[in-house]
Amino acid sequence: MESTWHRDSAVGRLTMTLPIAVIALMIPVGLFLEELPRAIRFAPFVVSVGLFGLPHGAVDHLMPVRLSDASLKRSLAVVSVVYAILGGLYLAVWAVSPAVALVAFIGMTWFHWGQGDVFALRAFGEADHIRTRSDRWASLIVRGGLPMLVPLLGQPEGYQRVVNGIIELFDPTATAALAPLFRLDTRLALGVGFGVFTLSSLLWTARHVWKSDISAVGITWDAVEIGVLWVFFWLVPPVFAVGLYFAVWHAVRHIGRLAIVDPESRDALDAGEWPTALWRFYRDATPLTIASLALFAGLYVWVPTDGSLNALLAIYLVGIAVLTLPHVAVVTWMDRQQYGEAYY
């Protein structure tokens, strides 16, 4: 099965240019966003519930069918077991040690959002400069660190409010464990280290351009995206920035990937029949999206809150965390199916 859409195609252009266009346009908003009502700052996460964010992972149960010879029954059974075991164990960690669970959530999201961008660069763009396992790991670390680390560096107070709000759902005293993360000296060390690694990774992958006769378009596009995301996450308050990135960057690119492995959606998009492809996606994603909402409702009943926007966001993020671990397992399996055992 063909596993790429060139960026010059309609789907490639949408998948690669729509996210960066939206993110770039929102950078000036970050300068005055704190003066707007909190509902506006929380809007991307609210929209993500039904638009792209939450549904983008709700098609995992069909991936074994579309990427292997598994039957629908076996696909449903295997993915259900993966979600039940990994999600259940991770939920237990939240109850026992929320600080550890939160650090794990940041780490797995760092990895997952990095792997999503590495795949998108290869599948929808021109990523001749990302050839080897070391290239992929370097790109993954940078791409995942942009939404997970840069907000801590540029917007530490907002980042700490979100972190503390999540941990306090389970144990208000556990917030002290992560307090050193927000000290100035810690953030300076992380900022310098990550900045150096960002530049080094671009230079490392650029060696393919210098040593062989390949176009510099891919490395240029890579550098532009990284630069825009650095500025965006530095300036824009974390709740709005991460929520918007989740909905219009990561989720949109993963939905493009889902279309690649669904022959009918791919044919529809190649023919310019966007409504057909979108209908197929939402049809496939609706059952598990509803099931996910039931999980959030259960968390709301289980964990006492004051019903504020901050508390509701914290509940939503814990639910997303519980779903993220098995989703990462499925997507990692997809990477290996589509690009081989040596992908990482």
Residue 75's pLDDT is what? 95
Q: What gap in Å lies between CA 261 and CA 62, rounded to an integer? A: 10
SS (H, E, C) 21-85: HHHHHHCHHHHCHHHCCHHHHHHHHHHHHHCCCCHHHCCHHHHHHHHCCCCHHHHHHHHHHHHHH
User: CA-CA distance, 344 to 143, in Å (whole number)?
Assistant: 15
Instruction: Output the pLDDT for position 317.
Output: 95
Q: Extract the tokens encoding 182.
A: 């927000």
Q: Residue 183 — left, alpha, or beta (φ > 0 → left; ψ -120 to 50 → alpha)?
A: beta
Please tell me whether 56 is known to bind a ligand.
yes
The pLDDT of residue 135: 93
E strand residue ranges, 121-260: none
Instruction: State the pLDDT at residue 1.
Output: 40
| 208 marked as part of a ligand binding site | no
DSSP 125-141: S--TT--SHHHHHHHHH
Query: SS3 for 256-307, per residue?
Result: HHHHHCCHHHHHHHHCCCHHHHHHHHHHHHHHHHHHHHHHHHHHHHHCCCCC
What count of other Cβ atoms lies within 10 Å of the Cβ of residue 141? 18
Per-residue pLDDT tens digits of the chain, which is 344 residues long: 445 555 546 677 778 888 999 999 999 988 888 877 888 888 999 889 888 899 999 999 999 999 998 999 999 999 999 999 999 999 999 999 999 999 999 999 999 999 999 998 888 877 788 988 999 999 999 999 999 999 999 999 999 999 999 999 999 999 999 999 999 999 999 999 999 999 999 999 999 888 877 788 889 999 999 999 999 999 999 999 999 999 999 999 999 889 888 989 888 887 888 889 899 999 999 999 999 999 999 999 999 888 888 899 999 999 999 999 999 999 999 998 888 766 66
Phi, psi of 30 (to 5 degrees): -60, -20
Give the separation between CA 94 and CA 313, rounded to whole angstroms: 16
Q: Is 250 annotated as a binding residue?
A: yes
Structure tokens at 312: 């509701």
Per the listing, tokens 């729509």 go with 18
Q: Say if residue 112 carries a ligand binding annotation.
A: yes
The count of residues in the chain is 344
Q: Break the chain down into helix, strand, coil percent, rounded to 5.
A: 85, 0, 15
Cβ-contact 214, 128 below 8 angstroms: yes
Would you state the pLDDT for residue 2? 45
Residue pair 218/121 in contact (Cβ under 8 Å)? The answer is yes
CB 120 within 8 A of CB 16: yes
Q: What is the pLDDT of residue 220?
A: 92
pLDDT at 326: 97
Confidence at residue 5, expressed as pLDDT on a 0 to 100 scale = 53
Q: Give the CA distances from residue 11 to residues 54, 57, 96, 246, in Å, rounded to whole numbers and listed in that order.
A: 21, 20, 44, 19
